[in-house]
Amino acid sequence: MKMMKHPSILILLALCICSTEATDPMADFCNKDTNISASSRISANIDGLLAQLVSKTASTGFLTSSYGNCQARFYGLAQCRGDVVGSKDCSSCIQDAAKQIRQRCPNQAEAMIWYDFCFLKYSNKTFIGKVDTSYGIIFYNTANVSDVTDPKNFKKELGALVDNIKAQALVPKNLGFGKAQTKLSPSVTLYAFVQCTRDLSKPDCSQCLATAVGYYQTICGDRKGCRVLFGSCYIRYELYPIFYAVGRMNVGAHDTVMTLV
């Protein structure tokens, strides 16, 4: 997967099979600019860091950690989605993420992996408490909302809904997570959530979400669904249930476009 610097855009057409229970991630990023030798010391430190994240994240749904010394020191962050914390799916997601990130990025000192229920990142440079929108992925539904609802009303209601969940995410007790739904018609409901990594301050969370919202407004338009993934936050909206545990029952295929930003 090629890294694209802002504001360059690469669009890849794909048919995405979307399942919240799949062990395959939504996306991953292996920073090719941080290639490292596969020495036993470096590998052991990455494995040690991931073991800490796997063993300790599930209790609270979030953990930052470090492992190793000097130039072989690695920093990591693992987080479950706000409405998944406390469930078995939180723990199993972190386990899957730790396994897959090593398989997909075996020789990189910096890597990220996104699942529907969790996110994991590690690097040989400290990143805790810093906003990371240097690399992003956007998935959007190829179908337009015009066949189910009025596009103008959709954009208005989506804007109000996103403002609501952004405000929720900035309330300390919500730990960077916000979700809500609104009726567009008797038969159409719009669902959305946002999530910041819990190491961010309130201003930094707000900044990250503002960047994510800017991208979905520019790229997704009036599509039926969209998700924007960054290393510090993400946002998603759909016209079908996506919240836990309702969302975990919604398994199906959706024509999507994946965009790297």
Give domain limits for the chain.
18-123, 137-251
Asked whether this chain's domains 18-123 and 137-251 adopt the same fold, the reply is yes
Other residues' Cβ atoms within 10 Å of the Cβ of residue 89:
22
What topology does CATH give the domain 18-123? Killer Toxin P4; Chain A (3.30.430)
For residue 244, the cross-strand partners are none
> Which residue has 């690097």 as its token pair?
123
Residue with structure tokens 């057409």?
13
- The domain 137-251 is placed in CATH, from the list 1.20.1640.10, 3.40.50.80, 3.90.550.10, 3.30.430.20, at 3.30.430.20
Residue 112's Cβ-count burial label (10 Å; 0-12, 13-18, 19+) is buried
Rg (CA), the chain: 18
Residue 133 tokens read as 């929108």
Per-residue pLDDT tens, the chain, 261 aa: give them. Answer: 333 344 333 333 333 334 444 478 999 999 999 888 766 788 899 999 999 999 999 999 999 999 998 778 999 999 999 999 999 999 999 999 999 999 999 989 999 999 999 999 999 999 999 999 999 999 999 999 999 999 999 999 999 999 999 999 999 999 999 999 999 999 999 999 999 999 999 999 999 999 999 999 999 989 999 999 999 999 999 999 999 985 454 434 455 666 666
Quick one: tokens of 154? 């959709």
Report how far residue 56's alpha carbon sits from residue 51's, in angstroms, rounded to the nearest whole number.
Answer: 9
